[in-house]
């Protein structure tokens, strides 16, 4: 079965297959009946529309129950521009897509601030508002009476750039547009942008820690999604020639959601198939069209539980998120460990300085006047009993909390209170107590996420797969080889993270942090849950990082792990620093013993060692 899936996946992904399919349709459409050509055109439009959901919901994880709104914006805009203002269709459709993109961008502001169910409600509201506006704005949209007379292929009233376009020719135009869209979406999915979408889907906080800004990324997702939906809407308008508000109500949003979910969120091929099936079914199967709404309901009710990856999950191998050409190019480049060494520091001596930081949550003082300093080429441990404030300190330094008082400077620059992705951009990177990797990415793909900030090519370059973009990715892929070697992950580089044991995931997270080229790194309990051997491996990696000249702060409880590793240690208790110095002396310090074992132990120990 899996051999069949691989073969199928390879075929479906092969450019020759795409070319053959497109050519066959282009040339063969003249021999098909008018009805079939029309259904096929609808299917193509559904394909484009479903990709808008794919980007927003499948990749970026933002649910949308009102996408008919964007579709409708595109349809009405192009229709109105073409009919009422006589704009050529070749211009009106792109303009409509642009307007829908702007709507997406605007929606991203309120929508980007809420999650889950609130987002679902908000998008539902958006769809409904659009519907109401269309119904009411009689002068412009024709209201409930509808908007007839849009230049349309079906009614033989369509001409593009002066050329009369009949139904078959329109199909050819839409086919080319759809093919282009699919290529661009696939390129985007396999680029730093697509990977960033997944990153914020899985964990906005983890994404921020490697420099991916959640807010801006979501804005991009909404804008692109709006553009695609609007494009589909515009093309739809010039197919049917008549626009009525009922076409852009909730059922439309539901339909595209069903297509995307059944096809498999995140899979382009799956959704192509699903869009085609769901366009043909109501036309060809009378019984289906009668029960269409109910069928959609049933599908939605059970699909995400029964078949979470959709058709694509059944028939195809999981999609991959690095361009094959970049991978091939990377093989030619030789991995150079030196590429990981951070460049000469900016201002100051490259140290990270925490100065008198206090953190209050309401009445609770989590950190009380804490000062410490980590220096390049040194490993400093941060220890303390449960609830002493260690993680809070890391959260403050890495930008998740703004301290109530105090300053944090790095390389002479004040980084207090900067948002997390800007701190990562300043080369201060952190890891988390539980590794938040993208579960269906491979190790390599997760590591490449770490290099997100370093990939400077634009979205357009990524979508068009320009050679400069490929070259950049190849270089980072070569750097990944170095990290894989360092962390002993080369053997599992192309295995999916969710199949790998905890210790491996931990290593992958450290590797990802390394790829962000930090000059200071904060490791939050990296040894938790690791076996002895894994801890040894981790210690070696940390020593390598020290040799590279990073300033390292290491939080952990495993004293034996820390003993041979760290240069000095800072002990926190109840938010205050109670000890600073060497680790051997720390074990005998009465204040530390009291904090961990209790006062009597401290006294006893004093007597014992007196």
| Region 172-211 residues binding other proteins, contact defined as CB under 8 A | 203-205
Distance in angstroms (rounded) separating the CA atoms of residues 59 and 479: 26
Cα dihedral 302, 305, 308, 311 in deg (nearest 10): -40
Distance in angstroms (rounded) separating the CA atoms of residues 130 and 124: 10
Residue 189 CB, shortest distance to other proteins, in Å, is: 19
Contact between 110 and other proteins (CB under 8 A)? yes
Q: Which region, judged by CB under 8 A, interacts with other proteins, from 24-32, 330-338, 540-548, 589-597?
A: 589-597
Shorter beta-carbon distance to other proteins: residue 290 or 336: 290
- Tokens (6 digits) for 603: 């006294």
Shorter beta-carbon distance to other proteins: residue 557 or 580: 557
Residue 66 CB, shortest distance to other proteins, in Å, is: 10
Q: Which region, judged by CB under 8 A, interacts with other proteins, from 175-183, 331-339, 464-472, 601-609?
A: 601-609
Shorter beta-carbon distance to other proteins: residue 104 or 234: 104
Contacts with other proteins, 484-513, as mask; x by CB under 8 A? -----------------xx--x--------
- Site for other proteins (CB under 8 A): how many residues? 73
How many angstroms separate the Cα of 149 from the Cα of each of 31, 45, 230, 579, 595?
28, 20, 20, 80, 81
Q: E-strand spans in 489-592?
A: 520-524, 551-555, 568-573, 576-581
Distance in angstroms (rounded) separating the CA atoms of residues 321 and 597: 50
Distance in angstroms (rounded) separating the CA atoms of residues 360 and 367: 7
Instruction: Map the footprint of other proteins across residues 378-397, applying CB under 8 A.
Output: 385-387
Instruction: Map the footprint of other proteins across residues 256-295, applying CB under 8 A.
Output: 257, 261, 290-291, 293-294
CA 296 from chain center: how many Å? 28
Residue 82 CB, shortest distance to other proteins, in Å, is: 26
Residue 153 CB, shortest distance to other proteins, in Å, is: 31
Shorter beta-carbon distance to other proteins: residue 114 or 454: 114
Shorter beta-carbon distance to other proteins: residue 321 or 561: 561
Q: Which of 104, 75, 108 is nearest to 92 (CA)?
A: 75
Pairing of strands 576-581, 568-573: antiparallel
Shorter beta-carbon distance to other proteins: residue 468 or 499: 499
Q: How many CA atoms, within 13 angstroms, populate the side-chain half-sphere of residue 187?
A: 20
Instruction: Map the footprint of other proteins across residues 502-561, applying CB under 8 A.
Output: 502, 505, 525, 528-529, 557-559
Q: DSSP letters along 266-326, please? A: T-HHHHHHHHHHHHHHHHH-HHHHHSHHHHHHHHHHHHHHH-TTHHHHHHSPPP--S-HHH
Under 8 Å between Cβ of 101 and 226: yes
Shorter beta-carbon distance to other proteins: residue 87 or 601: 601
Pairing of strands 413-414, 405-410: antiparallel
Under 8 Å between Cβ of 524 and 506: no
Under 8 Å between Cβ of 568 and 580: yes
Shorter beta-carbon distance to other proteins: residue 405 or 559: 559
Shorter beta-carbon distance to other proteins: residue 49 or 130: 130
Shorter beta-carbon distance to other proteins: residue 62 or 223: 62
Characterize 478-506 residue by residue with b for buried, 16 or more Cβ atoms within 10 angstroms of its Cβ, and e for exposed.
bbbbbbbebbebeebbeebbeebeebbbb
Query: Which of 35, 324, 347, 598 lies at the binding interface for other proteins (CB under 8 A)?
Result: 598
Shorter beta-carbon distance to other proteins: residue 83 or 135: 135
Residue 410 has phi, psi (to 5 degrees) of -135, 125
Residue 368 CB, shortest distance to other proteins, in Å, is: 14
Q: Which region, judged by CB under 8 A, interacts with other proteins, from 106-114, 183-191, 368-376, 457-465?
A: 106-114
Q: How many residues does the chain have?
A: 610
Residue 487 has phi, psi (to 5 degrees) of -95, 10
Q: Which region, judged by CB under 8 A, interacts with other proteins, from 88-96, 151-159, 180-188, 585-593?
A: 585-593
Instruction: Map the footprint of other proteins across residues 82-101, applying CB under 8 A.
Output: none
Under 8 Å between Cβ of 380 and 569: yes
Distance in angstroms (rounded) separating the CA atoms of residues 430 and 469: 27
Contact between 582 and other proteins (CB under 8 A)? no
Contact between 599 and other proteins (CB under 8 A)? yes
Shorter beta-carbon distance to other proteins: residue 353 or 568: 568
Residue 492 CB, shortest distance to other proteins, in Å, is: 14
Contacts with other proteins, 322-351, as mask; x by CB under 8 A? ------------------------------
Shorter beta-carbon distance to other proteins: residue 99 or 254: 254
Contact between 12 and other proteins (CB under 8 A)? no
Instruction: Map the footprint of other proteins across residues 111-170, applying CB under 8 A.
Output: 113-118, 120-122, 124-126, 128-129, 132-133, 135-136
Query: Which of 297, 324, 348, 582 lies at the binding interface for other proteins (CB under 8 A)?
Result: 297
Shorter beta-carbon distance to other proteins: residue 112 or 376: 112
Instruction: Map the footprint of other proteins across residues 407-446, applying CB under 8 A.
Output: none
Query: Which of 109, 284, 402, 491 lies at the binding interface for other proteins (CB under 8 A)?
Result: 109
Query: Which of 7, 145, 180, 604 lies at the binding interface for other proteins (CB under 8 A)?
Result: 604
Distance in angstroms (rounded) separating the CA atoms of residues 585 and 406: 29
Contacts with other proteins, 43-72, as mask; x by CB under 8 A? --------------x---x-x-x-------
Residue 455 CB, shortest distance to other proteins, in Å, is: 23
Distance in angstroms (rounded) separating the CA atoms of residues 260 and 278: 11
Block residue for tokens 């002068």:
139
Contact between 600 and other proteins (CB under 8 A)? yes
Query: Which of 6, 11, 301, 356 lies at the binding interface for other proteins (CB under 8 A)?
Result: 301
How many angstroms separate the Cα of 245 from the Cα of each of 32, 133, 323?
31, 9, 41
Residue 577's DSSP bridge partners are 572
Query: Which of 35, 308, 346, 582 lies at the binding interface for other proteins (CB under 8 A)?
Result: 308
Q: DSSP letters along 7-67, please? A: HHHHHHH-HHHHHHHHHHHHHHGGGS-HHHHHHHHHHHHHHHHHHHHIIIIIIS----S-T
């Amino acid at each position: 079965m899996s051999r069949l899936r691989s073969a199928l996946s390879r075929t479906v992904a092969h450019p020759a297959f795409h070319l053959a399919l497109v050519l066959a349709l282009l040339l063969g459409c003249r021999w098909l009946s008018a009805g079939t050509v029309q259904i096929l055109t609808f299917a193509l439009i559904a394909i484009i529309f479903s990709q808008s959901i794919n980007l927003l919901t499948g990749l970026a994880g933002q649910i949308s129950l009102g996408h008919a709104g964007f579709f409708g914006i595109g349809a009405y805009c192009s229709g109105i521009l073409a009919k009422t203002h006589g704009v050529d269709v070749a211009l009106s459709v792109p303009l409509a897509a642009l307007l829908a993109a702007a709507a997406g961008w605007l929606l991203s502001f309120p929508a980007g601030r809420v999650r889950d169910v609130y987002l679902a409600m908000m998008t539902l509201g958006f769809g409904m508002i659009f519907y109401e506006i269309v119904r009411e704005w009689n002068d412009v949209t024709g209201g409930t009476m509808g908007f007839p007379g849009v230049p349309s292929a079906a009614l033989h009233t369509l001409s593009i750039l002066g050329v009369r376009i009949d139904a078959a020719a329109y199909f050819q135009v839409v086919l080319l547009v759809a093919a282009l869209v699919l290529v661009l979406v696939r390129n985007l999915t396999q680029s730093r942008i697509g990977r960033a979408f997944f990153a914020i889907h899985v964990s906005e906080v983890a994404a921020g820690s490697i420099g991916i800004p959640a807010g801006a990324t979501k804005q991009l997702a909404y804008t692109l999604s709006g553009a695609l939906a609007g494009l589909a809407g515009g093309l739809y308008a010039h197919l049917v020639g008549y626009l009525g508000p009922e076409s852009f109500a909730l059922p439309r949003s539901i339909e595209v959601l069903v297509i995307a979910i059944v096809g498999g969120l995140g899979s382009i091929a799956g959704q192509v198939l699903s869009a085609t099936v769901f366009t043909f079914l109501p036309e060809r199967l009378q019984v289906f069209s009668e029960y269409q709404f109910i069928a959609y309901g049933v599908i939605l009710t059970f699909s995400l539980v029964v078949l979470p990856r959709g058709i694509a999950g059944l028939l195809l191998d999981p999609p991959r998120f690095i361009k094959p050409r970049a991978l091939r190019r990377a093989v030619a480049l030789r991995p150079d460990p030196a590429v990981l060494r951070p460049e000469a520091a900016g201002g100051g001596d490259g140290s990270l300085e925490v100065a008198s930081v206090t953190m209050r949550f309401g009445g609770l003082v989590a950190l009380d006047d804490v000062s410490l300093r980590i220096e390049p080429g040194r490993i400093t441990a941060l220890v303390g009993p449960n609830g002493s404030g260690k993680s809070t300190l890391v959260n403050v330094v890495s930008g998740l909390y703004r301290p109530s008082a105090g300053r944090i400077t790095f390389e002479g620059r004040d980084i207090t209170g900067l948002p997390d992705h800007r701190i990562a951009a300043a080369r201060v990177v952190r890891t988390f107590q539980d590794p938040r990797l993208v579960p269906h990415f491979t190790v390599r793909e997760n590591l490449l996420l770490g290099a997100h900030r370093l990939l400077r090519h634009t979205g357009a370059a990524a979508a068009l797969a320009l050679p400069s973009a490929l070259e950049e990715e190849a270089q980072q892929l070569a750097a990944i080889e170095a990290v894989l070697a360092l962390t002993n992950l080369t053997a599992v580089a192309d295995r999916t993270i969710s199949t790998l044991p905890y210790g491996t995931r931990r290593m992958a997270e450290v590797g990802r942090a390394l790829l962000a080229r930090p000059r200071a790194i904060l490791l939050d309990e990296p040894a938790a849950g690791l076996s002895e051997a894994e801890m040894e491996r981790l210690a070696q990696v940390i020593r390598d990082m020290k040799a590279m000249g990073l300033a390292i702060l290491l939080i952990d409880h495993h004293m034996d792990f820390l003993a041979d590793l760290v240069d000095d240690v800072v002990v926190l208790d109840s938010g205050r620093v109670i000890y600073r110095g060497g680790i051997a002396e720390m074990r005998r310090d009465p204040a530390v013993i009291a904090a961990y074992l209790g006062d009597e132990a401290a006294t006893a120990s004093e007597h014992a060692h007196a």
